[in-house]
């Protein structure tokens, strides 16, 4: 039986505004057709049962790009990025459009950059923009994406100085902003990438996709910080392809947003590759964060790790859905995922849904999930040394979250992340 649902005002707005032009028009059309098959995901779809976008996006947020915000408002938001002193190059996108005047390109020939909003994209970019994603939000993104960064790191290059992709949404309009990044690491390249999302206080939706194509023997360290405005809806998709002996270390810190759905789809295309995906959420008020990861071990001899630390205060709601698929040929797979929640209030809620789909027989796979309050013995120990109750709580919450970014390679980035967690704890204390 097919149930057909009435279109929501948001879906109607997406359909009405759709008028693709330019070289990508055909790709956009097939992507939109894919989105239209399901429309906005809702609770009757198993993967979306905790995050019903039909309800969440209750009114039309028409697609938009370009800004009417004042230069001052934009600069204030840019200053809100904590990575100003850490990033060696920065590509700034304001309300869904590249802002060359506020950007600084990497000062090296080892990396090529193209703005996805430009009319003639190089083939290494357009080749990667193909419809066919099974995820409706990623399809909607391809249909509507207005801009974003395409970066290609040349074979054998070592760009360890971090490049920041900074997405600023001023929230001047109640609209949907759609951005996408395409990052390609050629054979043996290594790079460090920071993705920062900051936003103003109004209502808006940011649909963000990042595609990572990590080549043979290449290595990417990526850190994402999501500090969207507190009325914002943040929908993100990370699509990763790892070639042979490739390595991805990915960490996401989520502090902002009214509602966040972040998904990661990691596919091992080549053997002996490694993927480490970790994250921390620091949520309060009525914030909602639903993180879903799908790790596809399509080939043998790969390693995957996922570690998520979720702190929820007041009436915040967290969800972690981690799925590992180990295909029939993917022998010697080593996969492990864990999620840990710290509930600081009786009204906070956390749901974990680990899934293993294993078709190979010689594998090591595991998952674990815990959820609880602060440890009473640890609290007593700290206080017995003279540390006040409030301070002891902050120390333990900070330490709990920090475990998720202990493995971030760059000490400077780790310090920034620690500072963000401290800032959150200080705001919590100030109440």
Partner 1 sequence: MLEIKNLHVSLEEEDKQIIKGLDLTINAGEVNAIMGPNGSGKSTLSYVLAGRPGYEVTDGSITYKGQDLLEMEIDERAAAGVFLAFQYPIEIPGVATMQFLKVALNAQRKARGEDEMTTPDFMRLVRGKAEQLNVTTDMLKRPVNVGFSGGEKKRAEILQMAVLEPALCVLDETDSGLDIDALRVVAEGVNALRSPERAMLVITHYQRLLDYIVPDRVHVMSDGRIVKSGGKELALELEKDGYAAFAA
- Chain residues binding partner 1 by CB under 8 A are 376-378, 380-389, 391-392, 395-396, 398-400, 402-403, 406
Closest CA to 238 of 288, 165, 168: 165
Tell me the backbone φ, ψ of residue 266, rounded to 5 degrees. Answer: -115, 125
The residue whose two tokens read 């080939």 is 299
Instruction: Give 202 or 398: the residue with its C-beta nearer to partner 1.
Output: 398
**Antiparallel, parallel or unpaired: β 97-98 and 89-94:** antiparallel
CB of 388 to partner 1, least distance (A): 5
Q: How many CB atoms lie within 10 A of CB 389?
A: 10
Nearest to 163 by CA among 246, 91, 254, 80: 91
- Write down the least CB distance from residue 379 to partner 1, Å: 9
Q: Would you say 16 or 375 has its CB closer to partner 1?
A: 375
* DSSP sequence for 159-200: EEEEEEEEEEE--SSS-EEEEEEEEEE-TT-EEEEEEEEEE-
Give the residue with the Cβ less far from partner 1, 206 or 428.
Answer: 428
Residue closer to partner 1 by CB (options 203, 415) is 415
d(CA 145, CA 106): 24
Q: Under 8 Å CB-to-CB from 329, ≥6 apart: which residues? A: 298, 299, 300, 360
Nearer to partner 1, 167 or 400 (CB): 400
Q: How is residue 258 written in tokens?
A: 């009214």
How far, in Å, CA of 120 to CA of 13, rounded?
Answer: 28
Nearer to partner 1, 294 or 413 (CB): 413
CA distance 396 to 407: 19
In the complex with partner 1, which residue's Cβ is closer, 201 or 390? Answer: 390
Residue from 247, 186, 192, 236 nearest 210 by CA: 236
């Amino acid at each position: 039986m097919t149930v057909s649902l009435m279109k929501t005002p948001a879906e109607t707005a997406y359909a009405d505004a759709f008028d693709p032009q330019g070289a990508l028009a055909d790709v956009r059309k097939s992507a939109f057709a894919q989105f239209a098959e399901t429309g906005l995901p809702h609770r009757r779809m198993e993967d979306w049962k905790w995050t019903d976008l039909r309800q969440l996006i209750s009114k039309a947020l028409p697609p938009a790009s370009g800004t009417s915000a004042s230069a001052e408002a934009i600069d204030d938001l840019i200053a809100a990025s904590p990575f100003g002193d850490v990033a060696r190059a920065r590509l700034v996108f304001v309300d869904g459009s590249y802002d060359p005047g506020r950007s600084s390109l990497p000062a090296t020939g080892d990396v090529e950059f193209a703005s996805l909003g430009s009319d003639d994209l190089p083939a290494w970019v357009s080749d990667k923009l193909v419809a066919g994603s099974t995820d409706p939000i990623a399809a909607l993104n391809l249909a509507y994406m207005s801009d974003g960064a395409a970066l290609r790191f040349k074979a054998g290059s070592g760009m360890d100085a971090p490049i920041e992709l900074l997405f600023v949404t001023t929230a001047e309009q109640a609209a949907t902003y759609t951005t996408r990044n395409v990052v390609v690491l050629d054979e043996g390249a290594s790079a460090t990438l920071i993705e920062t999302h900051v936003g103003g206080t109004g209502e808006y939706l940011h649909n963000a996709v990042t595609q990572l194509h990590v080549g043979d023997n290449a290595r990417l360290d990526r850190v994402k910080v999501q500090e969207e405005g507190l009325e914002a809806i943040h929908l993100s998709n990370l699509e990763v392809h790892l070639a042979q002996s490739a390595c991805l270390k990915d960490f996401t810190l989520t502090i902002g947003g009214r509602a966040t759905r972040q998904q990661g789809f990691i596919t091992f295309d080549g053997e002996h590759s490694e993927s480490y995906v970790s994250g921390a959420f620091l949520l309060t008020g009525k914030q909602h964060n639903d993180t879903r990861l799908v790790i596809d071990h399509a080939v043998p001899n790969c390693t995957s790790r996922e570690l998520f630390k979720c702190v929820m205060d007041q009436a915040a709601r967290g969800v972690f859905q981690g799925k590992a698929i180990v295909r029939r040929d993917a022998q010697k797979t080593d996969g492990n995922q864990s999620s840990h929640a710290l509930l600081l209030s009786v009204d906070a809620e956390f749901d974990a849904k680990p899934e293993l789909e294993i078709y190979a027989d010689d594998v090591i796979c595991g998952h674990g999930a815990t959820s609880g309050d602060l440890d009473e013995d640890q609290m007593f120990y700290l206080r017995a040394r003279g540390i006040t109750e409030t301070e002891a709580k902050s120390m333990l919450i900070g330490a709990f979250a920090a475990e998720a970014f202990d493995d971030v390679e760059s000490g400077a980035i780790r310090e920034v992340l620690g500072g963000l967690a401290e800032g959150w704890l200080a705001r919590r204390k100030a109440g």
